[in-house]
Amino acid sequence: MTKQSKRLYLNEVATRDGFQNEAAFIDTDDKIALIDALSACGYAKIEVTSFTSPKAIPALRDAEAVMHGIARQPGVVYTVLVPNVRGAERALSCNVDEVNLVMSLSESHNRANLRMTREQSFAQLGDVIDAMRGTGVAINVSLSTAMGCPMEGDVPLATVLDWMARFAERGVHGITLCDTTGMAYPSQVRELCERSRAQFDALELTLHFHNTRGMALANTLAALEAGIVRFDASLGGLGGCPYAPGATGNVCTEELVHMLELDGYDTGVNLAAVLDASARLPALIGHDVPSQILKAGRRTDLHPLPGGVQGMPEQRAFS
């Protein structure tokens, strides 16, 4: 398949990865209105919220109300983050299409984020997988710090592949490799994606980049070269893990779509509609968002000549 005709699948994570980090609570009705707008943008998937402990993530304590309140668009997969069986039961009561389980591949980050060892997490997520059996709900696992840990540094490729194999054996449908704190770099991403695709061709593989060090778009291109077609992205570039020092936003949806469209990819996503939705964010969350496209516009959004400038040389009348 040529690059020009390649279909990509985007998962919008702003209302989960983004909103979980916001200090001020965003009203449930505002969350619902934003998700309804996102549902009309052409995403393959939307990560709506998380069914975590309200003490750990108070910003998303209205998860049930949000899930019940949104108008679900046929063809969009509505997924939610779930840390344990309790979360899975709450998610099932809302008829989600998919649950997104989460653990970190570095011991320190897992302890900070989930208050468990990795083995305890794996056992607990195994219980969730058992609880989901026969429900028809898809299971994805997001593996945090897969490209580096802010406390431990590099995470060996063999460690990533080992944990992927353990989840593949448990029968999950998809795995998301997360660069939780923007430590990944392109050649690392390419190798990780090539090895993962070769070993786990039956799994839906998704890449989740944060732009902490400005490398998210470069890493996306590296993943594309390695054949990855699924990406998480966040409206306005919101996002960040509350348990990762210095973490900043995910790759920005409109920057990603803008770049991919220019290179001829079919993202399924309507850039104008995404920009409209992104423009609503500052009022909703009370602060500016990282999005460069929101500030600068698309590359072909032309500007009037500044006042006092006479116009193009060839348009001037020379005597």
Known catalytic residues? 241
Shortest Å distance, C-beta 168 to Zn ion: 22
Coil/strand/helix, residue 88: helix
Q: How many residues belong to the site for ligand COA (CB under 6 A)?
A: 20
Q: Residue 106 binds what, of ligand COA, Zn ion, none (CB under 5 to 8 Å, by partner type)?
A: none
Q: Closest CB to Zn ion among 131 and 220?
A: 220
Q: Are 11 and 269 in contact (CB under 8 A)?
A: no
Q: Residue 267 binds what, of ligand COA, Zn ion, none (CB under 5 to 8 Å, by partner type)?
A: none
| Interaction pattern, residues 106-125, with Zn ion; x per rule: CB under 5 A | --------------------
Binding of ligand COA by 181 (CB under 6 A) = no
Shortest Å distance, C-beta 59 to ligand COA: 10
Among 12, 17, 62, 254, binds Zn ion (CB under 5 A): 17
Binding of ligand COA by 110 (CB under 6 A) = no
Contacts of 243 (CB under 8 A, 6+ apart): 109, 112, 113
Q: Closest CB to ligand COA among 68 and 299?
A: 68
Rounded CA separation 228/197 (Å): 8
Q: In sequence order, what DSSP letters do the residues of 26-80 get, joined into one string?
A: PPHHHHHHHHHHHHTTT-SEEEEEE---TTT-GGGTTHHHHHHHS-PPTT-EEEE
Q: Residue 113 binds what, of ligand COA, Zn ion, none (CB under 5 to 8 Å, by partner type)?
A: ligand COA
Q: How many residues belong to the site for Zn ion (CB under 5 A)?
A: 1
Among 51, 163, 209, 231, binds ligand COA (CB under 6 A): 51
Please choose, from the candidates 276, 281, 256, the residue with its C-alpha nearest in 3D space to the C-alpha of residue 10: 256
Shortest Å distance, C-beta 22 to ligand COA: 13
Q: Closest CB to Zn ion among 63 and 143?
A: 143
What number of other Cβ atoms are within 10 A of residue 171's Cβ?
10
Shortest Å distance, C-beta 228 to Zn ion: 16
Q: Residue 179 binds what, of ligand COA, Zn ion, none (CB under 5 to 8 Å, by partner type)?
A: none
Binding of ligand COA by 53 (CB under 6 A) = yes
245: left (phi over 0), alpha (psi -120 to 50) or beta: beta
Q: Are 232 and 250 in contact (CB under 8 A)?
A: yes
Q: Closest CB to Zn ion among 17 and 62?
A: 17
Shortest Å distance, C-beta 146 to ligand COA: 12
Q: Closest CB to Zn ion among 131 and 219?
A: 219
Strand 230-233 and strand 9-12: pairing? Answer: parallel
Please choose, from the candidates 60, 112, 101, 105, the residue with its C-alpha nearest in 3D space to the C-alpha of residue 242: 112
- Tokens standing for 150? 């802010």
Say what the alpha-carbon torsion angle 157, 163, 169, 172 is, to the nearest 10 degrees.
-100
Contacts of 279 (CB under 8 A, 6+ apart): 294
- CA 97 to each of CA 1, 47, 77, 233: distance values in angstroms, whole numbers, following the listed order: 29, 10, 6, 19
91: left (phi over 0), alpha (psi -120 to 50) or beta: alpha
Q: Closest CB to Zn ion among 131 and 240?
A: 240
Binding site for ligand COA (CB under 6 A): 20, 50-53, 55-57, 81, 83-84, 86-87, 90, 102, 113-115, 144, 241
Binding site for Zn ion (CB under 5 A): 17
